[in-house]
Structure 1
Amino acid sequence: MQEIDVPVLIVGAGPAGLTTALALRQYGIQCLLVEKYSGTAHTPRAHIVNQRTVEIMRHLGVDENLIAVATPPELMRNNLWITTLADPEVGRLEAWGTGHDRAGEYAAASPSPMLNCPQTVLEPLLLDAVRQAGCDVRMRHEFVSHEEAADGVVSVVKDLETGEFLRIRSQYLVGADGARATVLSQAGLTVTGETAIAHALNIWFRADLAKYLAHRPGVLAWNLAPGPLPTGRLGTLICHRPFTEFVLAINYDPELEDPKGFDKEALTTRVRAVIGDNDVEIEILGSAPWIVNAQVAPAYSTDRVFCMGDSVHRHPPANGLGLNMSVADAYNLSWKLALVLKGKAGPGVLTTYSAERQPIGAAGVARALQSRKEFAAVSDALGYEQGQSVAEGQRRLDELTQPGPVGDRRRRLIREAISLTNYQFNAHGIELGYRYRAGALINDDFPQAPQSDDSQLYYRPTTAPGARVPHARLSHGGSECSTLDLVEGTRFCLLTGFGGEGWREAASVASATTGIDIDVHLIGDPEGFRDIYGEWALRREIGESGCVLVRPDRHVAWRSELYMAEASDVLTRALNQILARTAVPQLVGDPH
């Protein structure tokens, strides 16, 4: 049996596993990525890429490539409610922060846009970047088993091409192997929650639908055909390539239908029903059944095994959170693994991965489940009922164009129901505003005014520990950048202002004591970064001489209201606490 020694073994080449591999390589850590399939995703699957994920890709140096191949925000604008594409629409909502009332908020919150990019496009892009970064990637290699020991993990992996087995010794094992996770179950971890809420089938196809969508571009079209149809009616149309490549997601009853029994003719018939035009040429590219669950793991890790992505949070696709939470899982864990492996952080910091990410996963599952329930309000607003005939459903639908009290009421109800879906399609606070409440951070009791608007719909920038550091535009040498760009690799970043010059010496002392690299930026320094629009001053929430200490993943670790004489000691103690250091470790050289 071939034996391999590597610091980190990653199982699974989906968004979580690929992001982990790319981040670790950029942090100077060797890793081995194994995937049992011969390639990346063979169907589009998840596709909404929110601002936080694009930011992470920015930090990993692949955002320009991603933006080049993804659907831009302006073509994601409209959510449609239709009976067919060829018939007059029932309603419309500006989604993903593109509305006139929300676009400015999204632009002010991040240097990165919302995008639409299916896994069939995103995963190959990431895989190329991972290979270029020098990661050992082995496709058609299936994880079989592992055993944890005090000094590491011994895993067995099977080469599916040759039938040979590999024994891999690693210090840590990352399970990013999806909803059918092997690593999770073998590690003694579980998921809890609802299963088989619904059964769905994705029909992947090509068709030229520009005449129906180019004037109202968007990602999603929801079917509201009248009649005794199941939840979802004729299906949800997902635009992956404007306006030629799509997925139609339909529901089916597993007791009455076998999704494997749908031939191309049957799949084409389902697609034509939603389009409402028999003359459109349709090319079926494939189909894939899936089950809607609402589950989350109570814990994401054991001592040396860490699980992420769909293996630990599985939920309805509402809000488009799955892919994005998976990437954030990976980004949260990677810098911690890197610092522990370099001897700069104590192993205890790795326990903060589950402490930080599990509540976010649980909240995401709960929100997606609630959004799914709220979505039924649109059908209810039309007066649709179970088992209703086509004629009766059409009569209720026709009330939308009827003058008088009956029509007024029906139009009001549909407006209110569609507005409720903002919690699914414009939930900026959920997408960008999540905050770690306990973990590799030090909380404080600085006064903070209560948020006056809905915290799920609206993002509020804050430097509170655990929050992502607010984006503010800065200038330096004639160019513009974001506060998010001031963090490099596994280095910490300390942001201060006039009167905080002493933090430079404090950081130098703390760095010499702990071995942690700290970049200090005095915002406003004529030779440094200037707060050109005053955005940092508005968002820093501390005195100008105070500081905000930012972790490698751009989340705030600690802050101080003002500079103090004992700054060196305070900062040193803060770093030791954040990184679970009990003594100054033997350091390992960091090429980055």
Structure 2
Amino acid sequence: MADITTDVLIVGTGPAGSAAAALLATYGVETLVINRYRWLAQTPRAHITNQRTMEVLRDLGREVEDEAYLFAVQQELMGENVFCTSLAGEEIGRMKSWGQHPLSKAEHLLSSPSRMNDLPQTFMEPLLFKTACSRGAQARMSTEYLSHVQDGDGVTTTCRDRLTGQTFTVRSTYLLGADGGNSKVAADLGLPFEGKMGVGGSMNILFKADLSRFVAHRPSVLYWVVQPGADVGGIGMGLVRMVRPWNEWLIVWGYDINQPPPDVDGAFARKVVRDLVGSPDIDPEIRSISTWTVNDMYATRLSQGRVFCLGDAIHRHPPSNGLGSNTSIQDAFNLAWKLAFVLKGHAGADLLESFSQERAPIAKQIVTRANRSIGEFGPIFGALGLLDSIDPVTMQANMDARCDDTAEAEAQRAAIREAIAFKRYEFDAHGVEMNQRYRSGAVAAGGQPEPAFEKDAELHYQPTTWPGARLPHVWLYGADGAKVSTLDLCGHGRFTLLTGIGGRAWAQAAREIAAETGLPLAAEVIGPRCDWQDLGGDWARASEIRDGGALLVRPDHHVAWRAHGPVADAGAALREALNSVLSR
């Protein structure tokens, strides 16, 4: 007999594991989350937090979203990516990033009630973990996952208490492996992967120093330093990343993956900092030094039986585009409501198959995008003339040539501008963040064709209510004048039916089904003299249905099914859609 029993056991307290625990606890599911270490993230690894992730925090409660903003660096200070020879040296160019270009900012404001920001993992993880524990999740630190055995009724997991060395067993209905890029759960499960681990090497140097005089006039998250002939990082390009403005920083510099990781001591780290900052007199406080590898690997199946993997366990990639923790938290948002519905008898077990169907393509997409973004630095190096020679003197001369009054230099300057601007596919790829559309058994599209993207799908978010897409955000107004997002009407662990004045039969059918079955299902009517009013006409333009139509929205804000207009028997049509989506 197992020592501990629970509905769901989660291995790992990173962004994926802590988010899953917070969501499941909020949905009233008995959850135990374990961590092999004594505490949470010790370094600010992940940091870019996009709008879709903030919508997940908003769904957990406005108090959770507000606390994230409290500790985050706001979008206005995320600024422009700066390319320079050092922070104190010559600036080569810059690009407006993270929604800072006026046109991009407009798209951000129109697409979501939430704002992207820079929230280091050292703040995000504790916020999610605290939310989970305060809502009923059990947690055990210094507890190591060893193995698991599953059967038709559940999973028996063997763990080790790292303080006492004693082993114990946990019996759970489901097991979640959120144990990172070297996931033992995924390995034990035998999940199939494509790609390669260890395609590059990098080192992190975390330090404190007041660099205000170099950066406060050009606020940014990322400062890219190009120094030909540097003895670390090959071509000589380092990243100075703002952690806290403007006195806490993280340097990222590459090393040859074909050689052993470098032994970086304090003296060497201080030299790297001084070189990249370009100020030999600064005295940085080195906080930590670590090495890591660049990976290019994703799982093509995310589960086996009662065991599911999520987060970095299934998508392993560099930090390009800032997709790591964002995708991990969104994995949890996709899976948690499905587990809750199955455990509470609202859905058939086959619903859980949709997790792989929906999130495996996302894993492939973001791993591919992140690694492609690394390669897209090549045109910048080429335009600067850094690929034409390995001699530092020649490389510097090639860079200096851009300042000449010649036709060749004019062409070089144009090439540099174009190459830097192209990095919007990494630093302002709003479509990558927001355009996720699902195709699975948990979506009933009914043969409705998917709308084509009218703009570049990586750069621009295109809202649609096509089943499988995220519900578009628009502002609605309550009877008291309060402003709410369409996303606020949905989520929170329940299905929501949205309709208009001509769709009261849909709303009545939804209420009857909820009363008969106990299914978490709400109905909202939008129109004049209704609970919610579309005073600006934005919902009429975005909904893609008539006033007598209906949208069925899943707990994760994705449209499950839609009817463009009224039907003869709304109750029968809605029951059929719910039974299909929930594998009932």
Q: Same fold (TM over 0.5)?
A: yes
How far the C-alpha of 1:322 sits from its partner, in A, is 1.1
Q: Distance in 2 between matches of 1:161 and 1:548?
A: 52
Name the counterpart of 2:57.
57
Larger mean Cα displacement after TM superposition, 1-10 or 175-184: 1-10
How far the C-alpha of 1:187 sits from its partner, in A, is 1.4
What does 1:146-295 correspond to in 2, within 5 Å?
A: 146-227=148-229, 230-231=233-234, 233-256=236-259, 258-259=261-262, 261-295=263-297
Name the counterpart of 2:69.
67
Q: Distance in 1 between matches of 2:222 and 2:568?
A: 57
Tell me, yes or no, if the aligned pair for 1:468 and 1:555 is still in contact at 8 Å: yes
Name the counterpart of 1:462.
464
Q: Distance in 2 between matches of 1:186 and 1:24?
A: 24
Structure 2: which amino acid aligns with 1:34?
I
How far the C-alpha of 1:258 sits from its partner, in A, is 3.5
Structure 1: which amino acid aligns with 2:14?
G
Name the counterpart of 1:405.
407
Name the counterpart of 2:38.
38
Deviations 1:427-483 (A, max 9, x none): 111101111122311114446663321111000111011111000001112211100
How far the C-alpha of 1:390 sits from its partner, in A, is 2.3
The partner residue of 1:498 within 501, 511, 515 is 501
How far the C-alpha of 1:391 sits from its partner, in A, is 2.1
Q: Distance in 2 between matches of 1:2 and 1:566?
A: 50
**1:487 partnered with 2:493:** no
Q: Distance in 2 between matches of 1:447 and 1:174?
A: 34
CA RMSD of aligned residues (A): 1.6
Q: Distance in 2 between matches of 1:300 and 1:494?
A: 30
Structure 1: which amino acid aligns with 2:496?
C
Q: Report the 3-state secondary structure (helix = DSSP H, G, I; strand = E; otherwise coil) of the residue aligned with 1:218.
A: coil
Q: Report the 3-state secondary structure (helix = DSSP H, G, I; strand = E; otherwise coil) of the residue aligned with 2:454.
A: coil
Gaps of 5+ in 2: none
Tell me, yes or no, if the aligned pair for 1:82 and 1:221 is still in contact at 8 Å: yes
In structure 2, the CA distance between the partners of 1:450 and 1:184, relative to structure 1 (3 Å rule), is closer
Structure 2: which amino acid aligns with 1:492?
F
Q: Report the 3-state secondary structure (helix = DSSP H, G, I; strand = E; otherwise coil) of the residue aligned with 2:573.
A: helix
Larger mean Cα displacement after TM superposition, 121-130 or 154-163: 121-130
Q: Distance in 2 between matches of 1:167 and 1:448?
A: 47
What does 1:531-542 correspond to in 2, within 5 Å?
A: 531-542=534-545
Structure 2: which amino acid aligns with 1:59?
D
Q: Distance in 1 between matches of 2:281 and 2:498?
A: 61
Structure 1: which amino acid aligns with 2:37?
Y
Q: Report the 3-state secondary structure (helix = DSSP H, G, I; strand = E; otherwise coil) of the residue aligned with 2:438.
A: coil
How far the C-alpha of 1:118 sits from its partner, in A, is 1.3
How far the C-alpha of 1:398 sits from its partner, in A, is 1.7
In structure 2, the CA distance between the partners of 1:245 and 1:133, relative to structure 1 (3 Å rule), is same
Larger mean Cα displacement after TM superposition, 439-448 or 58-67: 439-448
Tell me, yes or no, if the aligned pair for 2:10 and 2:178 is still in contact at 8 Å: yes
The partner residue of 2:85 within 75, 78, 83 is 83
Tell me, yes or no, if the aligned pair for 1:226 and 1:394 is still in contact at 8 Å: yes
Tell me, yes or no, if the aligned pair for 1:9 and 1:33 is still in contact at 8 Å: yes
Q: Report the 3-state secondary structure (helix = DSSP H, G, I; strand = E; otherwise coil) of the residue aligned with 1:485.
A: coil
Q: Distance in 2 between matches of 1:386 and 1:196?
A: 27
In structure 2, the CA distance between the partners of 1:439 and 1:76, relative to structure 1 (3 Å rule), is farther
Q: Distance in 2 between matches of 1:513 and 1:354?
A: 31
Q: Distance in 2 between matches of 1:455 and 1:443?
A: 21
In structure 2, the CA distance between the partners of 1:459 and 1:362, relative to structure 1 (3 Å rule), is same
In structure 2, the CA distance between the partners of 1:257 and 1:9, relative to structure 1 (3 Å rule), is closer
How far the C-alpha of 1:489 sits from its partner, in A, is 2.6
Tell me, yes or no, if the aligned pair for 1:513 and 1:572 is still in contact at 8 Å: no
Q: Report the 3-state secondary structure (helix = DSSP H, G, I; strand = E; otherwise coil) of the residue aligned with 1:204.
A: strand
Name the counterpart of 1:22.
22
**1:507 partnered with 2:510:** yes
Q: Report the 3-state secondary structure (helix = DSSP H, G, I; strand = E; otherwise coil) of the residue aligned with 2:410.
A: helix
Q: Distance in 1 between matches of 2:556 and 2:509?
A: 22
Tell me, yes or no, if the aligned pair for 1:234 and 1:273 is still in contact at 8 Å: no
Tell me, yes or no, if the aligned pair for 1:222 and 1:232 is still in contact at 8 Å: no
What does 1:373-388 correspond to in 2, within 5 Å?
A: 373-385=375-387, 387-388=389-390
Deviations 1:234-286 (A, max 9, x none): 41111110111111011112555543x21101111111110000122200000
**1:330 partnered with 2:332:** yes
Larger mean Cα displacement after TM superposition, 76-85 or 483-492: 483-492
State the TM-score, normalizing by the size of structure 2.
0.97
What does 1:341-352 correspond to in 2, within 5 Å?
A: 341-352=343-354
Q: Report the 3-state secondary structure (helix = DSSP H, G, I; strand = E; otherwise coil) of the residue aligned with 1:90.
A: strand
Tell me, yes or no, if the aligned pair for 1:77 and 1:99 is still in contact at 8 Å: no
What does 1:514-533 correspond to in 2, within 5 Å?
A: 514-533=517-536
**1:553 partnered with 2:556:** yes
In structure 2, the CA distance between the partners of 1:268 and 1:228, relative to structure 1 (3 Å rule), is closer
Larger mean Cα displacement after TM superposition, 43-52 or 510-519: 510-519
Tell me, yes or no, if the aligned pair for 1:228 and 1:386 is still in contact at 8 Å: no
In structure 2, the CA distance between the partners of 1:243 and 1:543, relative to structure 1 (3 Å rule), is same
Name the counterpart of 1:564.
567
Q: Distance in 1 between matches of 2:449 and 2:259?
A: 58
Structure 1: which amino acid aligns with 2:524?
H
Q: Report the 3-state secondary structure (helix = DSSP H, G, I; strand = E; otherwise coil) of the residue aligned with 2:560.
A: strand
Structure 1: which amino acid aligns with 2:110?
A
Deviations 1:565-591 (A, max 9, x none): 21110100110110011xxxxxxxxxx
In structure 2, the CA distance between the partners of 1:139 and 1:447, relative to structure 1 (3 Å rule), is closer
Deviations 1:480-503 (A, max 9, x none): 110000024322111111211111
What does 1:298-337 correspond to in 2, within 5 Å?
A: 298-337=300-339
How far the C-alpha of 1:302 sits from its partner, in A, is 0.8
State the TM-score, normalizing by the size of structure 1.
0.95
Q: Distance in 1 between matches of 2:512 and 2:235?
A: 61
In structure 2, the CA distance between the partners of 1:231 and 1:501, relative to structure 1 (3 Å rule), is farther
How far the C-alpha of 1:191 sits from its partner, in A, is 2.2
Q: Report the 3-state secondary structure (helix = DSSP H, G, I; strand = E; otherwise coil) of the residue aligned with 2:303.
A: coil
Q: Report the 3-state secondary structure (helix = DSSP H, G, I; strand = E; otherwise coil) of the residue aligned with 2:290.
A: strand
Name the counterpart of 1:106.
108
Q: Distance in 1 between matches of 2:3 and 2:487?
A: 41
Q: Distance in 2 between matches of 1:112 and 1:580?
A: 32
Gaps of 5+ in 1: 582-592
Tell me, yes or no, if the aligned pair for 2:199 and 2:257 is still in contact at 8 Å: no
Q: Report the 3-state secondary structure (helix = DSSP H, G, I; strand = E; otherwise coil) of the residue aligned with 1:393.
A: helix
Structure 2: which amino acid aligns with 1:24?
L
Identity of aligned residues (%): 42
